[in-house]
Structure 1
Amino acid sequence: MIIRGRVWKFGDNVDTDVIIPARYLVTIDPEELAKHVMEDIDPEFAGKVQPGDIIVAGRNFGCGSSREHAPIAIKAAGVQAVVAESFARIFFRNAINIGLPVVEAPEAIAETETGDVIEIDTEAGTVRNTRTGKTYQSTQYDEFIQQIIRAGGLMQAVAERVKARQQAG
């Protein structure tokens, strides 16, 4: 899968309370959560981010609480992927489960800036910065995770498998 989008860059240790502040957790409505995504780190982010944009960040993105609201808010805001030096384990899994591609590409982070356009190839495991022309190694998903991402999330992938088995016989 090839993902191409404009970058919004953040630093290290962006925790789930910054991604979606706790004061907005009175709802599970993705559209409402999206209105407040990244609000405490960039109050204007939710109003400026465009469908197809990509978040790039440093180490330990998604640390803190294990709530699923954080990747849901990011995806609902139109962000199509997150590239970071590293991810908190539970955030990584929650993101994959909802079909939000998250890839680790430590070498790409230092030379990527807000406004750059990057291309992520989840099958080849690369991130290419179109401004610099450089390509970096990134997470290369196995086929199981590729299926989840292509389906739009774990539940959708399971539904597709069940349907395929029913049709097969």
Structure 2
Amino acid sequence: MKGRAWKFGDDIDTDIIVPGRYLIYTDEETLSKHCMEGLDPDFYKKCSKGDFIVAGKNFGCGSSREHAPIALKGVGVSAVIAESFARIFYRNATNVGVPLLEAPGIGKLVENEEIIEVDMENATITSESGETIEFKKLPPFMLEILNQGGLIEYLKNKR
């Protein structure tokens, strides 16, 4: 996977990912228009399908709503790469089919809007300068869930 990195800091909570006032919506298209709006109101216009969010520690903290990863999926984010994730957000993102890649040191490797390449098979991220960092490799069953588009599609296809 190759795309632009949109860099954010530590403790990005679910209210930053999609503000609570939009919780009356559940569809990807509507939620995507409000993705990261608290930090960048035009994020949904700038982010292209296949881009990445790169963040620090504790990404997805706060309330345990599925709206946040749905917004990320809707805006076209192919993966979120961070130092660490809130546990419940990690589960919700997997359930809706958004890969979360834990990569200690990612903040020092990647600049905002830099094009990066993610190799899921070898669990590496390469910057434009050619520097590479490893991320925690996802287990095969999780990759299968993500490749199916989330837990519901995965379970439907398991029959």
Q: Normalising by the residue count of structure 2, what TM-score does the alignment of the two structures yield?
A: 0.96
Alignment partner, residue 131 of structure 2: 134
Alignment partner, residue 101 of structure 2: 103
Alignment partner, residue 154 of structure 1: 151
Alignment partner, residue 112 of structure 1: 110
In 2, Cα distance between the equivalents of 1:153 and 1:21?
23
Q: How far off its partner does 1:72 sit?
A: 0.3
In 2, Cα distance between the equivalents of 1:118 and 1:106?
16
Alignment partner, residue 48 of structure 1: 46
Report how many aligned residue pairs link the two structures: 159
In 1, Cα distance between the equivalents of 2:32 and 2:49?
12
In 2, Cα distance between the equivalents of 1:124 and 1:95?
22
For 1:92, what is the secondary structure of its paired residue?
A: helix
Alignment partner, residue 7 of structure 1: 5
Alpha-carbon contact 2:49-2:77 (below 8 Å) kept: yes
What's the CA shift string for 1:35-61, capped at 9, x where partnerless?
A: 100000111111211111110000000
Alpha-carbon contact 2:94-2:145 (below 8 Å) kept: yes
Alignment partner, residue 38 of structure 1: 36
For 2:72, what is the secondary structure of its paired residue?
A: helix
In 2, Cα distance between the equivalents of 1:108 and 1:134?
11
- Per mean C-alpha deviation after superposition, the further-off stretch among 112-121 and 81-90 is 112-121
- Per mean C-alpha deviation after superposition, the further-off stretch among 53-62 and 112-121 is 112-121
Q: How much is the aligned-residue C-alpha RMSD, in angstroms?
A: 1.0
For 1:133, what is the secondary structure of its paired residue?
A: coil
In 1, Cα distance between the equivalents of 2:97 and 2:27?
17
Q: How far off its partner does 1:138 sit?
A: 0.1
Q: How far off its partner does 1:155 sit?
A: 1.2
For 1:119, what is the secondary structure of its paired residue?
A: strand
Q: How far off its partner does 1:78 sit?
A: 0.9
What's the CA shift string for 1:128-164, capped at 9, x where partnerless?
A: 11x12011110201110010111111111112221xx
Alpha-carbon contact 2:83-2:104 (below 8 Å) kept: yes
Q: Normalising by the residue count of structure 1, what TM-score does the alignment of the two structures yield?
A: 0.90
Name the aligned partner's letter for residue 152 of structure 2: M
Q: How far off its partner does 1:111 sit?
A: 2.0
Alignment partner, residue 88 of structure 1: 86
Q: Over alpha carbons, which structure has the higher Rg? A: 1
Any unmatched runs of 5+ in structure 1?
A: 163-169
In 2, Cα distance between the equivalents of 1:106 and 1:81?
15
